[in-house]
Amino acid sequence: GTGESGKSTFIKQMRIIHGSGYTEEDRKGFTKLVYQNIFTAMQAMVRAMDTLKIQYTSKENEESAQMIKDVEVDKVTVLERKQVEAIKKLWEDPGIQECYDRRREYQLSDSAKYYLTDLDRIATPSFVPTQQDILRVRVPTTGIIEYPFDLENIIFRMVDVGGQRSERRKWIHCFESVTSIIFLVALSEYDQVLVECDNENRMEESKALFKTIITYPWFLNSSVILFLNKKDLLEEKIMYSHLISYFPEYTGPKQDVKAARDFILKLYQDQNPDKEKVIYSHFTCATDTENIRFVFGAVKDTILQLNLREFNLV
């Protein structure tokens, strides 16, 4: 999948559902990343306030914005009281809320609202990240990360790859013997542009990558499983951001989640030139453990069935 489609979140779910999970010690290790995600989000909005020419409601908030802007995010290890107060006041500022509502016009992490509305809990001195906090942490993946786990005495080796353009050429040739490809699409990206190039639609890029992958010679015998992810964000967004504005070929009704989901699924199915090849698809929410538990149960059966068939065992 392309950048921010949910690949690493899915791998974290595999660790929670089928692996060793996260001990308290592991969870403490994410504290700094949660803090850094909060600063990254607020800095992105503060920069966008300038670009979009939105006013703060008070001089005090303007000064707070400057203070947050000056923070070196990768050096953050604690949340200082004055920073917490500044971030809270900024998040309550109607200007910042307008800026948040216009987030498709700049790059903002999907977890911004989740963390900022829960700042009181996160700012307590005894804070230890919960499982959900960990699932929401955004750290861009670079290179290739392999995660093996044992499922009913079968070892699954899952490989997570960086989705940004610069990362892809590192991994594409490494996968000659994979049995299955799980390709993730962020359903909510239909109205967003790339981090790498701000005039290209994210879904067009994702669709092009999907076509490239399923037509690669060394993936011809791999089964393809499509996860149409972030279905929760699509449900919110479709109410005010219309699909037809970005995909004029969409003829369905506005504000209709099912019609939007089906249209996006068909966009990807249409990339498959081999009509004999089945693409297995699931609508997912990678931050929802129960949803992923259910979906991966189905995926596991698909993978095992296809493997057995390949070795003439069924």
298 is in an annotated binding site: no
170 is in an annotated binding site: no
162 is in an annotated binding site: yes
Q: How far apart are CA 110 and CA 189, in angstroms?
A: 11
Find out whether 288 and 231 touch, Cβ atoms under 8 Å. no
4 is in an annotated binding site: yes
164 has catalytic annotation: yes
Q: Which two tokens stand for residue 207?
A: 């669709």
77 has catalytic annotation: no
Q: Which two tokens stand for residue 138?
A: 């955004």
301 has catalytic annotation: no
If phi > 0 it is left, if psi is from -120 to 50 it is alpha, else beta; for residue 160 that is beta
Q: Which of 164, 215, 271, 289 is catalytic?
A: 164
1 is in an annotated binding site: no
73 is in an annotated binding site: no
Find out whether 7 and 81 touch, Cβ atoms under 8 Å. no
231 is in an annotated binding site: yes
Find out whether 185 and 210 touch, Cβ atoms under 8 Å. yes
4 has catalytic annotation: yes
Q: Which of 2, 4, 36, 191 is catalytic?
A: 4
In eight-state DSSP terms, residue 252 is: S
6 is in an annotated binding site: yes
139 is in an annotated binding site: yes
66 has catalytic annotation: no
301 is in an annotated binding site: no
Q: Which of 13, 36, 93, 160 is catalytic?
A: 160
Q: Which one-letter amino acid corresponds to residue 190?
A: Y
- 303: buried, middle or exposed (CB in 10 Å: 19+, 13-18, 0-12)? buried
7 is in an annotated binding site: yes
Per-position b or e across 159-176, b if 16+ CB within 10 A of its CB: ebbbbeeebbeeeeeebe
138 is in an annotated binding site: yes
Q: How far apart are CA 53 and CA 65, in angstroms?
A: 14
Q: Which of 20, 31, 262, 248 is nearest to 134 (CA)?
A: 31
Q: Which of 102, 138, 165, 168 is catalytic?
A: 138
187 is in an annotated binding site: no
Instruction: Pick out the residues of the known binding site for Mg(2+).
Output: 8, 141
Instruction: Pick out the residues of the known binding site.
Output: 4-9, 110-111, 135-141, 160-164, 229-232, 286
Instruction: Pick out the residues of the known binding site for GTP.
Output: 4-9, 110-111, 135-141, 160-164, 229-232, 286
Residues serving a catalytic function are 4, 9, 138, 160, 164
